[in-house]
Amino acid sequence: MFHKLKIDKNTELPAKFNNPFCYTPHPLCLAAADEVRNYIAMRTDWHNELNQGKMFGVLVCESASGEIGYLAAFSGNLAHSNNHPFFVPPVYDLLNPQGFFKQEESNISAINHRISELQNSEEYQNLVDELRTKEAEGRQKIDAFRHQMKADKARRDELRKTAIDKETIDLLIKESQFQKAELKRRERDLKLQLDGLKEKVDAVKNEIERLKQERKQRSFRLQMQLFDEFRLLNAKGEAKGICTLFAQSPDHPDIPPAGTGECAAPKLLQYAYANGFRPVAMAEFWWGESPKGEIRRHGNFYPACQGKCAPLLRHMLIGLDVEENQHEKEASRNHQPKVVFEDEWLLVVDKPSGMLSVPGKVSEVSVYQWVADNYPDATGPLVVHRLDMATSGLLVIAKNKDVCAMMQRMFEGREVAKKYVALLESRGNLSESESGKIELPLAPDYINRPRQKVDFENGKTAVTTYKVVSVGNDSVRIELFPKTGRTHQLRVHCASIQGLNAPIIGDELYGIRSSRLFLHAEQISFVHPLTKKSLTIVSKAPF
């Protein structure tokens, strides 16, 4: 499990363990990752599965004797197994055929099989078809009888207009009474006939629903029982269960997502702590195709996932000297936006990269707070719209709540035109002066917050037009014109293989980390809500 690394004696170990949620891979991690890539490339028996995509991780660590090496892990299972000699074992092997998980999973599979049998049985399908047919035929006959009754009533009404004797009137009344009674009889007979069939159909439906409820309850109990088996260690030797860690995390649900504890990062740290290795640095990389809707690139390094791993790693890192999260550090810098336009109602500032638009969980340093400090008489929400913390550029501020409401309606009504400038990774798939439109609906990727994903079923409409300005050896300069304002819209539309397939340089969520995110809101145009003058405000990109 422990693989020795050939390193130069002068190689310096990192002073602190890297933050798994925001890091640049250490050279030792790069070397370890190369060895893992070489190994899995040799495993031709895994190629088909790995080409579909999987996350791998490496943990550079120091043995008790002072040797430097690494541990390797994969997320989930591989080739229908959790145990492979090259990789660390799982925290708990749920695939053990003698374990409770596989046994109960077999019981749940039997329930699924029984549900399928009932739903697809010839007897049940015949009952459903017979019920549907007899109900349709019965209703058709009753509707025809009602139509006849209506015609007969019209005939009787015409007869009553003429001078007819009492005996004829009595006959007309009896005819009407008979038809009404006959209608009730026919409806009663149809109901009795259908009730017998419905009772048989409902008996099967009720059994199917009972089995589904049993399946749901057993699945939930199994998941909770499984989580109880995950006792995660930290550097101090303290062990806590997954459910406890999620319950202590206010920004996560009480019930952990399925698969929690099976990612590479928890596996690596658990094995290191349990076997006396000192963690030095860690990195995770993607191998294979990108998952549907998500943006993962073969060979790229990624931070640990927020949805499953954040509550676990907060505990597992206790006792290690860990680097600060650079996102939080960036948010705490003393940034100062630059005023580009101002009148008595509006303010347009150039927000620097790394500054929040509104206060976040970890920092109050934001454009909102800057406006509140520098314009104490301003009222209302102030910030009309938002830019990502990593994005620089023009941001509109309203000095009172009425103007803010007017401007927000203009944004919602798409009466505000915006132009962004970006530098994209040069991948050879964009040509000089190329232009076009990207329409990819977006939805939150809850497991990997704050990432977004392409989702054609549940996503919200997102439209961007673009124009390539220049193509260089290392980058492509492009202008982007968002027609909608979805979270990370431009970043996903650029990075997605269904979009431009060229991530914005410095986009560590969808591409590769750099000195900054090279995305700038350069121009904004709108009609002033009070003066009615057309405004076009420009702040040139600093790159």
428 CB burial (10 A radius; 0-12, 13-18, 19+): exposed
Segments of 162-236 assigned E as strands: 231-233
Report the run of H or E that residue 527 belongs to, with start and end. Answer: strand 519-527
Contact between residue 195 and residue 134 where contact means Cβ atoms under 8 Å apart:
no
| CA-wise closest residue to 481 among 418, 541, 410 | 418
For 436, the token pair is 């076009």
CA separation, residue 92 to residues 88, 95, 227, 257 (Å) = 11, 9, 9, 16
- The structure tokens 């004829």 sit at 168
DSSP-based helix, strand, coil % in the chain, nearest 5: 40, 20, 40
State the catalytic residue, choosing from 8, 34, 254, 388. Answer: 388
Q: By the 8 A CB rule, do 238 and 321 touch?
A: no
Q: What is the Cα–Cα distance from 452 to 42, expressed in whole angstroms?
A: 33
Distances from the Cα of 135 to the Cαs of 122, 144, 444, in angstroms?
A: 20, 14, 45
What residues have CB less than 8 Å from 185, skipping those under 6 apart?
A: none
Report the SS3 class of residue 437: strand
CA angle, residues 127, 128, 131, in degrees to nearest 5 = 85
Whether 388 is a known active-site residue: answer yes
Catalytic amino acids? 388
